[in-house]
Structure 1
Amino acid sequence: KRFRSAAKTEKHFTSASESDEVACFVSFFFFLSILLFTDGGMAAVFFRTVPKNILVVGARQLRHHYALRMHACRCLQVAQANSRVLERHNVGLGAGDRLKSRAFHVGQQLQKVVSFKLSDIGEGISEVLVKEWYVNVGDKVSQFDSICEVQSDKASVTITSRYDGRIVKLYHEVDGICKVGSTLVDIEIADDGADSSDSDQVQDQAVGAPASQTSAPHSSDASGQLDKVLTTPAVRRIAMENNIRLSDVQGSGKDGRIMKEDVVRYIELLQAPKEPTATAPKPTAAKQQPAAKPPVAAAAKPLPVTVIRSTQDRVEPLKGIRKAMARTTTQSLAIPHFGYCDEIDVTRLVQLRPLLKPFAESRGVRLSYMPFLVKALSVALHEYPDLNAHFDDKAENLTIKGAHHIGIAMDTPSGLVVPNVKNVESKSILEVAADLNRLQELGMAGQLSSADLTGTTFTLSNIGTVGGTYAKPIIVQPMVCIGAVGQIKLLPRFDKEENLIKAHIMQVSWSADHRVIDGATMSRFSNLWKTYLETPAVMLVHLK
């Protein structure tokens, strides 16, 4: 129906009977489609079915349409290269005197090189750090194949191919900076005659052109860094951080897949002392030894000498997460911070956790104190929703957030990141613990997504993991409050009867935006949160 409708308006179809011309055109186009998606044998069957004159007339009409003509050229190249069907049946686009002046010539198949550019990955990101290449110059790729992994100031993102073709050039080294909109790689794809998009720069070249003319100057170096091995991105990250070539690691997984244990074992092997250790004396020889010398003299060993070498200053540009932290903390200085501190007796919580750990472990969840703190925070925010808000200082609007997306500050190899647990208000303590475990694993592997790092409504930092007691946390815009908890310590305290007892004490430090949060509100919120932690049974009453 589409071709018949086009025939009524196309001037090229008015030279002969409309129905015959349309029939020829449809027949020939259908034949080309068969050649494209099947082998030569199927095309031969079609030749025996369709009269030769119909094919020739259809080809004559097809020459008026550039896009379809290029499609036909590619189809005929496939047919002539595989089974020479056209020669066997003496039919081709060049048949007939009327087609000789505009015949198709099957020679070198034209290719085009597409400049694959880094698209906008959202969140206002303008540049990324290239963490790892998954391809090398000369590799063949298909659509949705992984090209590389990049690190923005918010998350790691895997870039996938939009084309089927061959890599001819890499534009960036590992740890290099790539701007959004700049070219990542050049990919050689088949030229089907379609016009290239504005975002991709295309250069035609013959199939037989030397690949060295388009490869990057550093392709030889890149090939040494890019190892085609079976493994996970997390394992690749561990190998990259320790400067390990994955091709040197023996995989113990299925089909030679390299597991995390393989890389750890290889690192331990490299770190083992190279000097041979003294072998233990045989028991018979030990009996012939004289009386043992004093222990001090026997155990005496030369102390290692620390050589202090003078080093030169070096300049390291801020990249990725560290650059984002510098920008964010600088913006936070414009917020008038109000600080509030208190101590919490978490003795009952310390006694409760060992009772719940076996239950959590039976479900594959590692239960720490943080899930209790996060859930108690969410329950307290129901009473004080103004603290779970975003403040727009330009419009002077306070947006009270309905969901509790609690951000947890984490120290990772890449720097400080703050992923968040989504919808804490509707999750159990065990579900919160499972989410925290997942975020910690992704954070250590550098695999946190943008969804994990965005949308935070309230932040809690645990400085106790590194031994801290007090802190002065900095509010991250546009949030209005942040808390930091210290290490739980066993300290002497007096009970209500003034008896000296042992207590597990945890310090908490709050920072609030004093433009919208007053001291009394901050104090009441902290006291309510403190009650839930000091008496966990009270928190259970409020759980939904």
Structure 2
Amino acid sequence: MAAVTALRSSCRAAGRLVCVHHVRSCSSIRFIKSKYVCVFDKSAFKFSHQQRLFRTSAVSCGQIVQFKLSDIGEGITEVTVKEWYIKEGDSVSQFDSICEVQSDKASVTITSRYDGIIRKLHYSLDEIAYVGEPLVDIEIDASKGVAPEEDVVETPAMSHEEHTHQEIKGHKTLATPAVRRLAMENNIKLSEVVGTGKDKRILKEDILNFLAKQTGAILPPSPKAEIIPPLPKSETVPAAPKDKARKIPVPISRPMVLSGKDKTEPITGFHKAMVKTMSAALKIPHFGYCDEIDLTHLVQLREELKPLAQSRGIKLSFMPFFIKATSLGLLQYPILNASLDESCQNVTYKASHNIGVAMDTEQGLIVPNVKNVQVSSIFEIASELNHLQALGAAGQLGTNELTGGTFTLSNVGTIGGTYTKPVILPPEVAIGALGKIQVLPRFNGKGEVFKAQIMNVSWSADHRIIDGATMARFSNLWKSYLENPASMLLDLK
């Protein structure tokens, strides 16, 4: 007792006495059971021996949960981390974008399920992440609890100053990852934007309107109208050469490789999907059929419609006409819009015409599809194509755009070539490949020579359920629609 009295006397001049029965440290989970503990004010003893004093800063007792990569469907078990939108120490709210991952079928944006602070990133860029394994560690408020399927790990202590600096707002803003990315790219706080969607969800139009008010710019009413990808080279009517000299293709310059060592890389992303798809396609007996199409009248019609399409913010190419003619042909020959089960015992006739369009991108060959072509106009198809091309160029095509196709067209003519042998994409049963458009001499009904816009088409069909006569009749019908575009009006619904 005498020792305690002496200790009190020495503390009165220097600081204040704090009497506690138990002091708990959240970081070490230890208990100090001394009867009296003397704690000095830190500011009063900056010059003293600090190793002898207790810190008075409060501690935060949060829980760290391991946010695992959920199943993203389509049988995907692993993905490649392409981009992190957060770093360690950042605060996140529910539905905030965490990262972008790429599977062998699509790019997917992963969003947070919690309000909290990022404590650890489990993967670096271009590393393989597996479904069901931890993606990031998020510190959340312990009082809110954790979902039962998440794993709780040891919680480190954090000073009061750090916790105050990284405090998370309780207000939750509803917005899709794409909208959040748009806001982030333009330095817009979602809390300042008034949402016009359901439950005050912030839409892309809300971000654009908010940005217009800040900058004074006038934006078009539809966001798709401003997405105008460059027109493929083959879709421009080639002009007659002024001289007879043939153009020599310029070789693509490549950096000189000084090292003589071989290089081995893993097959990932869309290339991995190509390996799987083409391996399955080898099991299909392909039947090939080729023909040439005179597009002279279609070229003239497109030139007449281009100004009208541009006034609607749409870039009109030949592909919408090809896609619509395909859909009209599938109405007459539905076996080409079907799928065959693995046991080859049942054929499923698809109600929707989801026409895929093969695209050559930096990520590799991808085939997004235009949904429900059978009920879409040519302008609607053109608008959706513009949208898909813009997403493909930005590497933002998702699973919805890349799955569900029932028939495919490959416009290989944008690169070059006339005839090809397209490979069917299972579970589809047919595919068409379009060559480049050439100005060639042809004879009319009177035997006179004229300049014709000629395009070659190559078809492949699954010969297990499609015979050659069916493929030829479908090709003839498709050809008639394109050589006489006005005839499509008779079958439009």
Q: TM-score, normalised by structure 1?
A: 0.62
Asked if residue 367 in structure 1 is aligned to residue 367 in structure 2, the reply is no
Q: Which residue of 2 aligns with 1:154?
A: 105
Cα distance in 2 between the residues matched to 1:115 and 1:203: 11
Q: Deviations over 1:5-41 (max 9, x none)?
A: xxxxxxxxxxxxxxxxxxxxxxxxxxxxxxxxxxxxx
Q: Deviations over 1:279-302 (max 9, x none)?
A: xxxxxxxxxxxxxxxxxxxxxxxx
Give 1 or 2: higher helix fraction.
Answer: 1
Cα distance in 2 between the residues matched to 1:381 and 1:151: 33
Partners of 1:114 and 1:189 within 8 A in 2: yes
Query: What's the secondary structure of 2:117's corresponding residue?
Result: strand
User: Within 5 Å, which residues of 2 pair with 1:447-486?
Assistant: 447-486=396-435
Question: Which consecutive residues of structure 2, in runs of 5 or more, have no partner in the other structure?
Answer: 1-56, 163-180, 188-210, 216-252
Cα distance in 1 between the residues matched to 2:146 and 2:97: 25
Q: Which residue of 2 aligns with 1:510?
A: 459
> Percent identity, aligned pairs only?
58
Cα distance in 2 between the residues matched to 1:536 and 1:432: 16
Question: Once the 2 structures are TM-superposed, how far is the Cα of residue 194 of structure 1 from its aligned partner?
Answer: 3.5
Question: Once the 2 structures are TM-superposed, how far is the Cα of residue 109 of structure 1 from its aligned partner?
Answer: 3.6
Q: Deviations over 1:81-119 (max 9, x none)?
A: xxxxxxxxxxxxxxxxxxxxxxxxx97442111111100
Q: Deviations over 1:325-374 (max 9, x none)?
A: 11110111000000111111111111111000001111000000000000
Q: 1:435 to 1:338 in 2, by over 3 A?
A: same
Partners of 2:63 and 2:139 within 8 A in 1: yes
Q: Which residue of 2 aligns with 1:438?
A: 387
Letter in 1 for 2:489: L
Pick aligned residue for 1:189 from 135, 140, 158: 140
Higher relative contact order (CA 8 A, sep 6+): 2
Letter in 1 for 2:133: S
Cα distance in 2 between the residues matched to 1:405 and 1:365: 21
Cα distance in 1 between the residues matched to 2:398 and 2:186: 16
Query: What's the secondary structure of 1:312's corresponding residue?
Result: coil
Asked if residue 231 in structure 1 is aligned to residue 154 in structure 2, the reply is no
User: Within 5 Å, which residues of 2 pair with 1:45-444?
Assistant: 108-192=59-143, 194=145, 196-208=147-159, 230-231=184-185, 309-394=258-343, 396-444=345-393
Cα distance in 2 between the residues matched to 1:372 and 1:494: 25
Question: Which consecutive residues of structure 1, in runs of 5 or more, have no partner in the other structure?
Answer: 1-105, 212-226, 234-251, 257-303
Cα distance in 2 between the residues matched to 1:356 and 1:193: 59
Cα distance in 2 between the residues matched to 1:457 and 1:325: 17
Cα distance in 2 between the residues matched to 1:228 and 1:405: 29
Cα distance in 1 between the residues matched to 2:452 and 2:256: 46
Cα distance in 1 between the residues matched to 2:144 and 2:150: 17
Q: 1:232 to 1:499 in 2, by over 3 A?
A: farther
Asked if residue 524 in structure 1 is aligned to residue 478 in structure 2, the reply is no
Q: Which residue of 1 aligns with 2:450?
A: 501
Partners of 2:289 and 2:471 within 8 A in 1: yes
Partners of 2:290 and 2:458 within 8 A in 1: yes
Tell me the C-alpha RMSD between the 2 structures. Answer: 2.7
Partners of 1:196 and 1:202 within 8 A in 2: no
Partners of 2:354 and 2:407 within 8 A in 1: yes
Question: Once the 2 structures are TM-superposed, how far is the Cα of residue 196 of structure 1 from its aligned partner?
Answer: 5.0
Cα distance in 1 between the residues matched to 2:277 and 2:358: 14
Query: What's the secondary structure of 1:192's corresponding residue?
Result: helix
Cα distance in 1 between the residues matched to 2:265 and 2:256: 25
Q: 1:520 to 1:328 in 2, by over 3 A?
A: same
Q: 1:386 to 1:187 in 2, by over 3 A?
A: same
Q: 1:477 to 1:203 in 2, by over 3 A?
A: same
Letter in 1 for 2:262: D
Q: Deviations over 1:240-279 (max 9, x none)?
A: xxxxxxxxxxxx99989xxxxxxxxxxxxxxxxxxxxxxx
Q: 1:370 to 1:207 in 2, by over 3 A?
A: same
How many aligned residue pairs are there?
358
Q: Deviations over 1:173-232 (max 9, x none)?
A: 111111111111111112127465133343333334999xxxxxxxxxxxxxxx999417
Q: 1:228 to 1:419 in 2, by over 3 A?
A: closer
CA radius of gyration, larger in: 1
Cα distance in 2 between the residues matched to 1:358 and 1:229: 33
Runs of 4+ in 1 over 6 A off after TM superposition: 252-256
Q: 1:470 to 1:385 in 2, by over 3 A?
A: same
Q: 1:394 to 1:401 in 2, by over 3 A?
A: same
Cα distance in 2 between the residues matched to 1:414 and 1:494: 44
Q: 1:204 to 1:307 in 2, by over 3 A?
A: closer
Query: What's the secondary structure of 2:457's corresponding residue?
Result: strand
Letter in 2 for 1:494: F
Cα distance in 1 between the residues matched to 2:146 and 2:136: 20
Query: What's the secondary structure of 1:539's corresponding residue?
Result: helix
Cα distance in 2 between the residues matched to 1:414 and 1:144: 27
Query: What's the secondary structure of 2:301's corresponding residue?
Result: helix
